[in-house]
A and B are shown apart, each in its own frame.
Chain A
Amino acid sequence: MNWLKRRVRPEQIRELSLLVLILAAIVFFGSFIDNYYSFRTFNRIASSVAIITVVAVGQTLVVLTRNIDLSVGSIVGFTAYFVGTLIASHNGINPILAVAIAIALGAALGVVNGVIVAWGKVPAVVVTLGTLAIYRGVLVDLSGAKTVTTDSLPQWLIDLPLVNVAPIGSLDIRALFMLALVIVVVFQIGTTYLSFARRFYAIGSNPEAAQLIGLPIKSVVFLAFVICGALSGLAGFMLLARFGNITVEAGRGLELSVVAAVVVGGVNVFGGSGTVTGAMLGAVMIGTLEQSLFRLGISEFWLDAVLGLLILLAVASDAVILQRLRQLWGGAELKLMAKETDSVSSEQSASPP
């Protein structure tokens, strides 16, 4: 048990318990729905989850630093619309260039948020509540209420969501879901092993201490917003690829789904703890429920009520379980520390001063 406690942190068990919860939900729905264990179910859940996941990764970084970005829905809509318009008028555009433009556009909007939060010292809620309205408003004004339609887009973009990048048996891993997975893996490894990326955690868990040891708080917060914007831009491109038809309303309200995924995924809204993998699991949990309730033939009107209840239960059970685990772990750590100080003091007494 002590061995286990030294290897694993309570926060990691949290993700494991969420995974168990998702599997339990799948088994539960599988016993009610015919043909539930099929690749179609998987594909449906995967493609609905991919876009939310990408934004949730960015949002996680922002929330880790004790901030929040409510403007993500508007950034997604903004980039989806403008990149869509660009591709519609220049059908021959290089796909990689188009993706790069989407990311850059999102990052630029993130820069605005980041500068005002980090250097303007305006609370993130205030800033992003404002830019939520501003980005959407500018989009509506500039668009002249026109829409991007599927038939104006080149074939490669329309086909993109159906591209099967990694066929495992007859299981398809489609391009957009693969992209989301890659992003989660990259950011998970980054935030775990790069000392640079650990700063997101350091600043969120104790800003005063982070300041005292000389961390560049402003630059790190700024960077979190820029990355969140960039990933939202990428998500805008994914939205364009998935739906083809993009109106000025695209992505409206997405911020709530993203914050819900992050919260269900166990990222602490007060900063400092949580992982991007957790955020992805949160998105998968919500996506699984949405698709399954739909398949179960439950009226769509029940969906939101169940979802609200689920978020509440996830947050509550998370808080209670984590508290218990921390107590359990805390005991072990104290014993360990006592042992270490014992050995240190005996070494000191053995060697002459």
Chain B
Amino acid sequence: MSAVGTLKSWEAMMLALLVAIIAFNSVGSPYFLSVGNFVNLFQLSIEKSIVALTMALVIIGGEIDLSVASVMGLAACVMAWTFHAGVPMPAAILAALGAGILAGLNNAFWIARVGLPSLAVTLAGLIGYRGVARILLEDRAIGGFPDWFNTIGQQALIGPLTAAIAIFFVLFIFFAIVLHGSAFGRLVYVVGSNAQAARYSGVRVGLVKAALFVGSAFVAALAGILYAARLGSVRGDMAEGFELDVITAVLLGGVSIFGGKGNLVGVGLALLVILNLRNGMGLADITGNTQNYVIGGLLILSVLIPNMWQELTNKWRGRET
């Protein structure tokens, strides 16, 4: 089976799964197909969905960013801290985005310039950025943001959509164009499938990787701010552990952990599968804990079953010839 064939079949598999889940859910609960439920379902983990977009690019580029959840927490804490210190809210938001970019530049420096493994650097970032967030807020919770800020997070802005959902769709289209329709996107695939070959053919690998990590941290900071707007208050441990859910969604979307393979359509479908599955299980009174391991199992099976299928068809073909 060609690479294109496997990719196509992956999305077909996700789509079939999605249709099955939606059909099952809408039979099970009359409320499932309402617009309200659909917006709700999106809204409940919209920040993770946003971060999953850039995580997909990073993983396709052959790297990994474990620090995203800590950058979310860091950005929210920087915003809350500067706001609490008397700075006007728009400036506080800019400071938070700036903190995100700084974190991204730090990751990029060690990975792209010094050449350290991203797993180690972003693991240090995961611990370190969370540490800075804790230094800023200690064990306080800071809230009392201006009304307009909370409205952005909680109220519908465009039709039934909240700002975060609208931003997600805009970013989805933007990154789909970047990844699948721009020269930079091709470079991401090239670097992800063989960084050494890319370097020998004159691609500035360091620059591509740096762009990926700065972009990833910037979007994570944005997601952290949106999360703060939705919750209405900020704590040092905000978004802790989100990185695993984000990576799970990306891998379920058919992106190869070894880089160079995958696309945003698959990731989008995987996000929908996870959201609908959680929502359906929630409506059927299945606890969040059970939902977690159903999705864990789905993650493993989504790679295991195609592998075994391929093995079987290979054996079958071997017998024929």
Q: A residues touching B (Cβ–Cβ < 8 Å)?
A: 68, 116, 120-123, 125-127, 129-134, 136-138, 140-141, 253, 256, 259-260, 263, 269-270, 299, 301-309, 311-312, 315-316, 319-320
Contacts and interface: CB of A to CB of B under 8 A. Distances in A.
A256 B120 contact: no
A126 B123 contact: no
Contacts of B290: 137, 141
B231 interface: no
A51 B193 CA distance: 38
Contacts of A116: 300, 304
Contact of B244 (A127, A132, A315): A132
B131 A126 contact: no
Given A301-B135, A302-B131, 16 more contacts: A116-B300, A120-B308, A121-B307, A126-B303, A129-B296, A130-B297, A133-B292, A137-B289, A260-B124, A263-B120, A307-B127, A307-B128, A308-B124, A311-B123, A315-B117, A319-B114
23 contacts: A120-B303, A122-B303, A123-B258, A125-B247, A125-B251, A133-B244, A133-B248, A134-B296, A136-B293, A137-B290, A137-B292, A137-B293, A137-B296, A301-B131, A304-B127, A304-B130, A308-B126, A308-B128, A308-B130, A309-B124, A316-B110, A319-B115, A320-B114
B134 A259 contact: no
Given A120-B307, A130-B299, A269-B119, A299 B138 contact: yes
A311 B120 contact: yes
B252 to A, nearest CB: 9
A107 to B, nearest CB: 19
Q: Per DSSP, are chain B's interface residues mostly helix, strand or loop, or mixed?
A: helix
Nearest to A315: B120
Given A304-B131, A305-B135, A312-B121, A256 B126 contact: yes
Nearest to A123: B257
B138 A301 contact: yes
A250 to B, nearest CB: 15
The 3 closest A-B pairs by CB, nearest first: A308-B128, A305-B131, A304-B131
A62 to B, nearest CB: 13
Interface string B278-321: 00000000010110110111011001100110000000000000
Interface residues of B, number: 45
A21 to B, nearest CB: 16
A323 to B, nearest CB: 9
Given A134-B293, A315-B120, A305 B132 contact: yes
A259 B123 contact: yes
B300 A127 contact: yes
Of B116, B121, B128, B300, which is in contact with the most chain A CB atoms at under 10 Å from its CB? B300
Contacts of B300: 116, 122, 126-127, 130-131
B42 interface: no
Nearest to B244: A129
B121 A129 contact: no
B129 interface: yes
A37 B285 CA distance: 56
Contact of B124 (A121, A123, A140, A315): A315
B125 interface: yes
Contacts of B134: 301, 304-305
Of B121, B131, B297, which is in contact with the most chain A CB atoms at under 10 Å from its CB? B131
A311 B124 contact: yes
A256 B127 contact: yes
B236 interface: yes
B307 A122 contact: yes
Contacts of A137: 289-290, 292-293, 296
Interface in B125-158: 125-132, 134-135, 138-139
Interface string B250-268: 0100001110000000000
Contacts of A311: 120, 123-124, 127-128
